[in-house]
Structure 1
Amino acid sequence: MTGSSSFLKRTGLRLNYRTIGVILLFLFRQEQAHAIDPSRAVGQYLRQQWQVESGSTAIRINAIAQTPDGYLWVGTDENLLRFDGFRFEEIQPHSEGLAPIRHVLNLIVDSGGALWVRTEDSRVLRYKNGSFKSLLSPEQGESTVTAIGKPLGEGIFASGLSYGLVQVTEKGIQQIHRNAESLTLAIVQTTDDLWLGTRENGLLNWSHNTLNVMNQGIPDLKVNSLLATSSSQLWIGTDGGLAHWDGHKTVSDVLPAEMNSLQILTIVQDRDGNLWIGSSRGLIRYNSRGAQWMPRDARDRGTAVTAVFEDREGNLWFGSGGNLERLRDSPLTTYGNPEEAAGDQYGPVYADSRGRTWFAPLTGGLYWMRDGITHPVVTAGLDKDIVYSIDGRGDEIWLGRQRGGLTRLDAVGDIIKAKTWTTANGLAENSVYAVHLNRDGSLWMGTLTSGASHFQGGKFHPFDVGNGLISNTVAAIEEGSDGTMWFATPRGLSALHGLAVKSYGTTDGLASSDVVSLLADPQGGVWVGTTGGFSFADKGQIRRIDVPLRSPETVVGIALDRQGLLWLATTMRVLSVRRSALLQLPLVAGAFRSYGMQDGIHSTEGVRRNRSVVADVAGNIWITTNRGLSASSPSVSRPSPIAIPQVEGVMSDGVALPTSGEVRIPAGAHRLTFNYAGLDLRSPERVRFRYRLDGFDKKWSPPMEGREAVYTNLVPGKYKFRVVAANMDGQWNPVESAVSLYVQPLLWQRWEFEIACVGILLLMAVWIYRARMRYLIVQANMRFEERLIERTRIARELHDTLLQGFISASLHLHVTAESMPPQSPIQGSLQTVLQMMEKVIEEGRNAVKGLRTFHGTRRGLEQMFRELISELGAEDAAGYSVVVEGELRSLRAAVYEEVWRIGREAVINAWRHSQARQITVRFEYSSARLTLSVIDDGRGMDAAMIHRGRPEHWGLQGMRERAARMGARLHIESRPGQGTRVVLTIPAAIAFHDDMRDRKLASTGLGRM
């Protein structure tokens, strides 16, 4: 090892192309994430905690790092752990020449993406591509390594008692300075210099081959941590407090007095400029707003923070005792209950141009908030009334009240003046539910029973059902970009343009006639929220938007932010979606994002009040829920880093297999399990996966949350398992993780053996099939022959007895009628009876003719079923449909009749008895069978009724008998309240004409049908 006078220059330039690629990829991913918002109070970050244990004992965390594959690495007093957002996995060297890792002191990820590990037993290990390599250890001549640091170039810096200060790379060790007189605890490199923090000698600076002591102004000579924030800026953490080197001098009174004497253990600066300080008494955030403690509770009061790290997603991780904790921004911030406010259930909200947010609790009163400080409004009796709606401009605030009419507040600074209008001043009623301030300064208000009013020039002008309004109950009012006034009512939507009024309902495209909320789009049109869904009205046309709502779910609030995100609050959820995506057809799957407790809101239930969701001048969205007032940040629209998929393991019948190279699956394995992860530490619970096994799956699996894929009884051969991941925004990573495998065959799974078996089985199957078809055709012909004989006998008996009797009676009546005088009073009755008997005789002849031979009709069965609904006298056939699948084939006459009668009985039962709204008749023609399905959504039947039928009704029994007679299978599925499904399946050999086959069968005496 030799020294070098140009060391700093070379370390800054020693970057190969592969290293540069890794750095660029990592920086690209970081640019997509946002860090911890410095404008929030520390207590407003989302905080989550995992306990790191060895057995039942918590173990201290000493170091945290993240490799480019997305895994978080945690070094503890007992082991090295890898964390994927859900579980910790202990990682140990597999090489026989390396001892297990027991006590980790430092972790560094170098510019090439390798992980460097410093352990208590004076080893420095390098981990990359799944394997460890020892590059500095007592066996290699270094007795004790006291610190490692990250250079601007390759590898790491290390300081040891034997070698002194060195740079360690994969190629070897290069000495920088002997440094025998100091025990180094921290190493950091700036653009110009190398800085060393020591245990007893304070702060040292290595520059131009010279080691300089820089102790002036530092609070203590034991330097535990160093952080370089620019080319010459340096933060110094000591046992006696925090100091800052500004390039010329050291300043030690940066923190407030109560924090000055703390033992500083670690320092990190995030990408938004927040300085995070781990001390002996907890975590501190320091930025331009000052220093703040991380709120502590009984679990962590006074616990030292020994490791702090910011990951690629912008999360802040820190180790506090045996706990690994995460801080992150949330898309929404919920403000706690102000002591003055009654409860946390708020109704209307309004954000003015002065940075104030006005809100009203559901129980009464009015408040305004700025910078998190809440002020009550008690003027004009507002503290004793309920405010229904708020709107305004500048210092002018308009309020609609439950009992107090209409109130205007002039809020200049902290001075608030009020003026109120009631019925005594011409107001239609004192309960004003909705107020809207127009661009021209006039005001519209809506009431619950007296319609709307336009307040202009000091006078109220009514607008109610007498003027064309569709209902006198007005829930919301909006002014469109073209000046059209829109009114939401429980009977539909009314639009007033000039003097013309037009109303819209469900027949015009509204999701429901009960309209609850409105939002005028600045680009034209209006968004409409109802109790049954979401719609968009523009230029006289209304289009329903397929929002993934559950029933019953009402859209109670709508707002649009500056980034083009449309926010919806419903009675069950809070959603956002890009406006541009809503106007596309069809709507892109996954376009909507749903927000929950993990996003910073305390409840997902919106409040049904006018203007419960609004946008402020800064682009934030304010939402009132039944558990607080929440605000979004413009950063919510920034995309999250892509999730990195990783196949973590392969198991065969519960035995883990090595995943390096091609995985060989033992012969006879029954169950193959793939474990995988999607590395997105910001919201790992929202990562979605798709996977496929090439050689088995024909397409990718649907998106799912599961982190395990199971395959059973795979045939021998080569496969490739692939998995991709999507982050919380639904963005899929184009890079997949894959593992190749080979399932080894058993002796009897060889291809020669399989071909012989397949040949034998094919011959047997053909013989069995032909024999079975012949048997079925013979049986069917016999049944149809018997049936034809019986029908002929019945027709003959009817003709010779009943029909002849009717004819004889008719002749006698004719004789009687002819013998009566034309003027006889009973002549008319006799003629009527004769006409009736002629009709009965004609119908009898047709019945006898039908019994002898069923000629059917030239129309197809499908057309007959389509016309059946009109025969039943149905006035509305919208719920009835006939569907045909497959290529139509000609049916045998007897089969034609039986299918018609069975299907007709099923449709009649569904129409008359099940109270069905939807009835579907489906024909499926295939080479193997004919299938008739009759499906309804009626009230269904229980098992007893399916088996026995309705009392004194024989329809189901008759259907079964007809199916059995022709060798078909009838299956009935039904449950009370879940509809009924009747399925008739007829083998092709029985159902269809086949002229060539019929001629062959006729030659054997089996073809008569």
Structure 2
Amino acid sequence: MNLLSRLHLVLRSSLFWMSCAIAALSLTASPQVPNNLGHQSWSTENGLPQNSVHQVFQSTDGYIWIATEGGLARFNGIDFKIFNQETTPAITSDDICCFAQSHSGPLWIATSDGLLQYSSGKFHRYTIANGLTTGRITNLAAADDGLILILTTDGISSFDGRRFYTISLPSSAEPSAIVTAQDGSVWIASNSGIFQYSHGRVLPQPLGSTSTAKDIEGIGFFPDHSLWLRTGTSIAVLRSDQSRTLSISRDLPASRIQSLLADSQGQLWIGTSKGLFMLDKVDSHPQVVPALGSNSILSLMQDEESDLWVGTETSGLQILRHQNFRTIPGLSDHPITAITQATDGAIWLGSNSDGLDRWQAGNIQHLDTRTGLVSETILALAPGEGGSMWVGTPDGLNYVKGKKIRTYTSADGLPDDLIRSLLRDDDGSLWIGTRRGLAHWQNNQFITLTQSNGLGSDLVGALLRSHAPDHDLWIGTLNGLSRLRGDNITTFTKKDGLSGDTITSLAEDTQGKLWIGTKGAGLSVMTTAGFTPLRRDDLPQTIDSILEDDRGNLWLSSSRGITRVSVSALIKCGSSSTCDPHPVSYGRADGMPTEEAIGVGHPAAWRTKEGLLWFATRKGVAVTDPSHLVENLTPPPIVIERFTADGMDIPLTGTEQNIAPGRASFAFEYAALSYVAPAKVRYRYILDGFDKRWTEAGSRRIAYYTNLPPRHYRFRVQAANNDGIWNETGAQIAFFVRPPFYRRLWFLLLVLGLAAAAALLLYRLRVRGLQSRFQAVLAERTRVAREIHDTLAQSFVGVSVQLELISQFLAHSQTDAASRQIDQTRAYVREGLAEARRSIWNLRAITAPNSLPTRLAHLAEQWSQKKLNTRLNITGTYRRLSQPFEDEIFRIAQESLANAARHANATQVSADLRYDSSRLVLSISDNGSGFDTSERSPSSNGHFGIQGMHERAAQIHAQLTIESSPANGTTVMLEAPITEGKEAAINA
């Protein structure tokens, strides 16, 4: 018998035995929907684009995608990102149908106007124009060969990313539902059988086919690979060992079955037009899920963390999460102060101003002042014999046994009526902690121990009898921990290693270690080595109660929830901040009625005989079963959702991004895609190239950096889920902040080159300046030498000649002649002094007061008086020249006349000075003996006159020509340019 034949046989001919089965089921205890399912919902008020959710899908990167009639939504556990016609040009219709994705392929999205491909943050649309047979798509499935199978109203097509192909079913079968199996094949339900598509082949199942109505709307698998089929009115469960059919009205109080899901535990979730139902076993009865009421359920999906996602028709998106805590109905509004379990198994719960409750097997018995309690505020509880209970209140002590209640107050010997803690000892006696000491009730009398007996304080809190060999009584006080051993009391404080002096809770583990909770100072432990403070930021600082479970974990309650931590990991890590004992925190997301797990009385938490842990909270009790914890061991996928530089979005690609220089502010937005408890996800990040260590970000989902130096960076982020499981691979993005042009290598090399060139230029200018100054000094020395030669030297020569003559005259007793020569010598000396003074004035840059023609005329007159007939002829238009220029010409004329008189023995000299428009010409001719110009320079004989004349001519850029022969005398010709500005520059 084939698959569909079995289905329709069940639907048509099994009414009798199904009725019998239902009757039998009604006689047995029906299974209950788990009461620890947490529920959360989102609608348009929370960011959903529209409240009709046709499908919920988890993509391979971890995002939850929601198909609605108002567009597409992507959910990261905190907020929605909407894609619709307004925000995304590729989307031309907001009516979204369904999703499909292979393990490594893009996300495919079906709309009422074609097929969408989403990859790397971009959408691409395919329509009839690209080969799609019709735009009316009803479902999608991803095959293991990379193809996408598209179920439309016209049949099935496949798409490889380039072309569409039509898939034909045998015998003209009309497909009605498709699904991807765990092995990657696609199963197809039709009106004539079930088919399997694998690697391009359509294979009918061995069950064959039969002609049936086109009414199968859904097909799927259980974890054991068995099959289920869904129509609008029935469900067929087809397993190898047993099969069953459920139908509406008879099994489900609804008008239509709209969705179906077999979860990872094999439970069947049934979405109907009148709510959600759960079938935990094939032969059990479906139970309604009360959290969703009568909402019309359109879609169901289980994510990687086993959360159940529910899409409704009018109420948006829902999620059902398995929670580790549950509450007790009827006690959810009471602020619980103390909890304990009586010897008969009943749980007693004290409250603040609402009396005492006894809970057993779901039944609650309430006690208050009307039933005999001295007060309705309960501060302490301790079990007595035979199910009795000791009850401490602010107004005295009660003993409850059955319906009888006995009261003890300070009138009976109590040190104080306000009872803070109670402890029934092994011998049946009772220890009572009060504000005025510790009372011991034994043999119907009270004995009080106070600070005078060694207690740390008269204000007594938590009490604990140790099971260690010494059986010490530990007493928590306001000022340290006291130990009663025999009749001796010893008190320990922070000086002895405790983390704090105000003791709030005590517990002893199975290994004999004493755990001490304090107020504001965290946890301490006492071992054989003494007290050790455990100063850790990941544990609560004020601990109201401590319990140990059978798995070696400590449970710590505080105002921030309940924390579970391994004893061995905690002992190993101690107070080290680099060691992580992986504590797990629980709060409202885990089923607690409130995170304020604090009780003002003792004990504020209790471990029952069944191993359950009960905790007092401000809104009832929180109960957990440590042996059946639902632990989230799936490392959360993490994505970087946005990267901005100065508010500008940077593309999120796998390649390194180049950031333009000048960006000052960088922001990274990231999200861990864990949906069990998104608010409890913790993050840490590091920017390689900038940070030295990881930054613990807590629940913050954005990281900021400013003024990053130009270099290569890699931002990495990791996340831990609600149970502390870290995704150490995390997500990362690499980028390069480009340096500005003035910090690039070519610019630095250019600057270095320019600096070197500037240094070289300065060096050369410096050398040139030194050379110029040296040349100036040398020229000045040469000029001074010429001045001395032409003035003082000439005068000294004249004086020397005169003195020789005087010596000869005196030798011949010619006194008159000698006297005349002395007078002439005096004249030479005066002339020499005058010339020396003139040279000194020239050295001091004092210009001569006379013009060049006047000075030459004076010079000619002087030589004429010395029997050298000198004729001076001046022609042209006179104009004043610079003083250095005229001085050089005058010195040349002076040297020429001196040479004519002293060396050529001339008697006549003709001197011509002519001013032309652009030059000055000086010509001096004598009738002396002359000399041969081809002979070696006179300076070689120690005479430097002619050389000095040439140097002076060169100084004023003049041309000096000397023509001489032994028979024709000597002619000195000087041509000096007097173009405007040149002569002014001489010696400047």
Normalized against structure 1, the TM-score is what?
0.60
CA contact (8 A) 1:514 1:531 kept: yes
Cα distance, 1:632 vs structure 2: 3.0
Aligned: 1:212 with 2:197: no
Q: What residue in structure 1 maps to residue 252 of structure 2?
A: 259
Which sections of structure 2, spanning at least 5 residues, go unmatched?
A: 1-29, 197-202, 759-988
Pick the aligned partner of 2:302 from 301, 305, 310: 310
State the distance in 1 between where 2:460 and 2:47 align.
Answer: 64
Q: 1:150 to 1:164 in 2, by over 3 A?
A: closer
Q: Which amino acid aligns with 2:96?
A: V
Q: 1:637 to 1:609 in 2, by over 3 A?
A: farther
Q: What residue in structure 2 maps to residue 347 of structure 1?
A: 337
Aligned: 1:559 with 2:547: yes
Pick the aligned partner of 2:357 from 363, 367, 383: 367
CA contact (8 A) 2:56 2:65 kept: yes
State the distance in 2 between where 1:54 and 1:475 align.
Answer: 46
Q: What residue in structure 2 maps to residue 939 of structure 1?
A: none
Q: Which amino acid aligns with 1:367?
A: D
Cα distance, 1:349 vs structure 2: 0.7
Q: Which amino acid aligns with 1:541?
A: G
Pick the aligned partner of 1:493 from 476, 481, 485: 481
Deviations 1:969-1008 (A, max 9, x none): xxxxxxxxxxxxxxxxxxxxxxxxxxxxxxxxxxxxxxxx
State the distance in 2 between where 1:469 and 1:118 align.
Answer: 75
State the distance in 2 between where 1:395 and 1:140 align.
Answer: 82
Q: 1:367 to 1:156 in 2, by over 3 A?
A: farther
Cα distance, 1:268 vs structure 2: 1.8
Partner SS for 1:475: strand
Q: 1:178 to 1:366 in 2, by over 3 A?
A: same
State the distance in 2 between where 1:253 and 1:56 align.
Answer: 34
Q: 1:639 to 1:305 in 2, by over 3 A?
A: closer
State the distance in 1 between where 2:710 and 2:614 align.
Answer: 59
Q: What residue in structure 2 maps to residue 390 of structure 1?
A: 381
Deviations 1:55-112 (A, max 9, x none): 997252211111232111222224333222223234699xx99775743312234355
Aligned: 1:535 with 2:528: no
Cα distance, 1:506 vs structure 2: 3.7
Q: What residue in structure 2 maps to residue 327 of structure 1?
A: 320
Partner SS for 2:209: strand
Cα distance, 1:611 vs structure 2: 0.5
Partner SS for 1:367: strand
Q: Which amino acid aligns with 1:537?
A: M
Q: Which amino acid aligns with 1:452?
A: A
Q: What residue in structure 2 maps to residue 724 of structure 1?
A: 718
Cα distance, 1:370 vs structure 2: 4.7
Q: Which amino acid aligns with 1:477?
A: L
Cα distance, 1:757 vs structure 2: 5.8
Q: Which amino acid aligns with 1:451?
A: L
Report how many aligned residue pairs link the two structures: 704
Pick the aligned partner of 1:519 from 495, 500, 507: 507
State the distance in 1 between where 2:51 and 2:160 align.
Answer: 29
Aligned: 1:642 with 2:635: yes
State the distance in 1 between where 2:184 and 2:751 align.
Answer: 77
Cα distance, 1:359 vs structure 2: 0.7
CA contact (8 A) 2:233 2:257 kept: yes
Cα distance, 1:609 vs structure 2: 0.5
State the distance in 1 between where 2:385 and 2:169 align.
Answer: 66
State the distance in 2 between where 1:417 and 1:504 align.
Answer: 42
Q: What residue in structure 1 maps to residue 449 of structure 2?
A: 464
Q: What residue in structure 1 maps to residue 264 of structure 2?
A: 271
Q: What residue in structure 2 maps to residue 772 of structure 1?
A: none
Pick the aligned partner of 1:676 from 658, 670, 680: 670
Q: 1:520 to 1:759 in 2, by over 3 A?
A: farther
Q: Which moved more, 1:478-487 or 1:226-235?
A: 226-235
Pick the aligned partner of 1:77 from 69, 83, 88: 69
Q: Which amino acid aligns with 1:108?
A: A
Pick the aligned partner of 1:510 from 479, 491, 498: 498
State the distance in 2 between where 1:40 and 1:249 align.
Answer: 22
Q: What residue in structure 2 maps to residue 691 of structure 1?
A: 685
Q: What residue in structure 2 maps to residue 435 of structure 1?
A: 422
Aligned: 1:480 with 2:480: no
Cα distance, 1:719 vs structure 2: 3.3
Over the residues paired in the alignment, what is the CA RMSD in angstroms? 4.8
Alignment of 1:709-720 (within 5 A): 709-712=703-706, 714=708, 716-720=710-714
State the distance in 2 between where 1:435 and 1:761 align.
Answer: 88
Q: What residue in structure 1 maps to residue 568 of structure 2?
A: 580
Deviations 1:314-360 (A, max 9, x none): 2222222362222223443344544xx9x511111124687643211
Which sections of structure 1, spanning at least 5 residues, go unmatched?
A: 1-37, 410-415, 765-1009
Pick the aligned partner of 1:733 from 698, 719, 727: 727
State the distance in 1 between where 2:112 and 2:463 align.
Answer: 70
Partner SS for 1:108: strand
Q: Which amino acid aligns with 1:481?
A: H
Structure with bigger gyration radius:
2
Partner SS for 1:58: coil
Q: 1:493 to 1:248 in 2, by over 3 A?
A: closer
Alignment of 1:24-423 (within 5 A): 45-52=37-44, 58-90=50-82, 102-112=94-104, 115-121=107-113, 123=115, 127=118, 139-140=130-131, 142-143=133-134, 145-149=137-141, 158-160=150-152, 164=156, 175=167, 177-178=169-170, 180-187=172-179, 207-208=204-205, 211-213=208-210, 222-231=215-224, 233-247=226-240, 251-253=244-246, 259-287=252-280, 291-295=286-290, 302-320=294-312, 321=314, 323-338=316-331, 344-351=334-341, 356-370=346-360, 373-377=363-367, 381-382=372-373, 386-392=377-383, 396-402=387-393, 405-407=397-399, 409=401, 416=402, 420=406, 422=408
State the distance in 2 between where 1:374 and 1:70 align.
Answer: 45
State the distance in 1 between where 2:752 and 2:556 align.
Answer: 60
State the distance in 2 between where 1:422 and 1:83 align.
Answer: 61
Q: Which amino acid aligns with 1:474?
A: V
Deviations 1:540-599 (A, max 9, x none): 833333254999x75332222233332333456544433234433334466555544444
Q: Which moved more, 1:51-60 or 1:741-750?
A: 51-60
Partner SS for 1:451: strand
Q: 1:709 to 1:499 in 2, by over 3 A?
A: closer
Partner SS for 1:283: strand
State the distance in 2 between where 1:469 and 1:255 align.
Answer: 71
Q: Which amino acid aligns with 2:66?
A: V
Q: 1:639 to 1:353 in 2, by over 3 A?
A: farther
State the distance in 1 between where 2:361 and 2:99 align.
Answer: 40
State the distance in 2 between where 1:737 and 1:441 align.
Answer: 61
State the distance in 1 between where 2:386 and 2:107 align.
Answer: 58
CA contact (8 A) 1:663 1:742 kept: yes
Q: Percent identity?
A: 23
State the distance in 1 between where 2:46 and 2:439 align.
Answer: 69
Pick the aligned partner of 1:453 from 440, 462, 466: 440
Q: 1:650 to 1:535 in 2, by over 3 A?
A: closer
Q: Which moved more, 1:608-617 or 1:648-657?
A: 648-657
Q: What residue in structure 2 maps to residue 809 of structure 1?
A: none
State the distance in 1 between where 2:308 and 2:638 align.
Answer: 22
Cα distance, 1:47 vs structure 2: 2.7
Q: 1:388 to 1:604 in 2, by over 3 A?
A: closer
